[in-house]
Amino acid sequence: MLRVVKPPSEVDLVAAEQAAAAFLVALGVDLDTESLAATPARMARAYAEMFTPRSFDLTTFGNDAAYDELIIARSIPVQSVCEHHLLPFLGVAHVGYLPGERILGLSKLARVVELFARRPQVQERLTQQVADWLQDHVAPRGVGVVVEAEHLCMTMRGVGASGATTVTSALHGQLRNDAASRAEFFTLISANQQEAVHHA
pLDDT digits (tens, 9 = 90+) for 88-104: 999 999 999 999 999 99
Query: Residue 9 has what pLDDT?
Result: 61
List all residues 6 or more positions away from 148 whose beta carbon is below 8 Å from its beta carbon. Answer: 91, 92, 93, 94, 165, 166, 167
What is the residue type of 64? D
40-54, 130-144, 146-160 — which is least confidently predicted?
Answer: 146-160
Q: How many C-beta atoms surround the C-beta of residue 90 within 10 A?
A: 13
Q: Which sequence spans correspond to the domains of the chain? A: 2-50, 59-199
Query: Residue 59 has what pLDDT?
Result: 84
Query: Residue 155 has what pLDDT?
Result: 84
Cβ–Cβ < 8 Å for 80, 89: yes
Task: Write the pLDDT tens digit of every residue in 12-70.
Answer: 999 999 999 999 999 999 999 999 999 999 999 999 999 998 888 888 899 999 999 99
Query: Residue 83 has what pLDDT?
Result: 93
State the Cα–Cα distance between residues 44 and 37, nearest whole angstrom.
13
Largest CA distance in the chain: 65
| Strand intervals (E) in 21-121 | 56-58, 60-62, 71-82, 88-98, 102-104, 120-121
Active site residues: 82-85, 123, 151, 153
CA dihedral 13, 17, 23, 24 (to 10 degrees): 140
pLDDT over 60 at 5, yes or no = no
Per-residue confidence band for 160, with pLDDT thresholds at 50, 70 and 90: low
What is the residue type of 3? R
Beta bridge partners of 143: 97, 172
pLDDT over 80 at 193, yes or no = no
Strands 60-62 and 56-58: unpaired
Query: Residue 197 has what pLDDT?
Result: 36
pTM tops 0.75, yes or no: yes
C-alpha dist (Å) from residue 112 to 8, 74, 95, 145, 147: 17, 14, 10, 11, 13
Share of the chain above pLDDT 90, in %: 76
Beta bridge partners of 142: 98, 173
Query: Residue 146 has what pLDDT?
Result: 98
Q: What is the mean pLDDT of the chain?
A: 89
3-state SS of the chain: helix, strand, coil percent to 5?
40, 30, 30
CATH number of 59-199: 3.30.1130.10
Query: Residue 58 has what pLDDT?
Result: 83
Cβ–Cβ < 8 Å for 161, 154: yes
DSSP at 8:
P
Q: Which fold has domain 2-50?
A: GTP Cyclohydrolase I; Chain A, domain 1 (1.10.286)
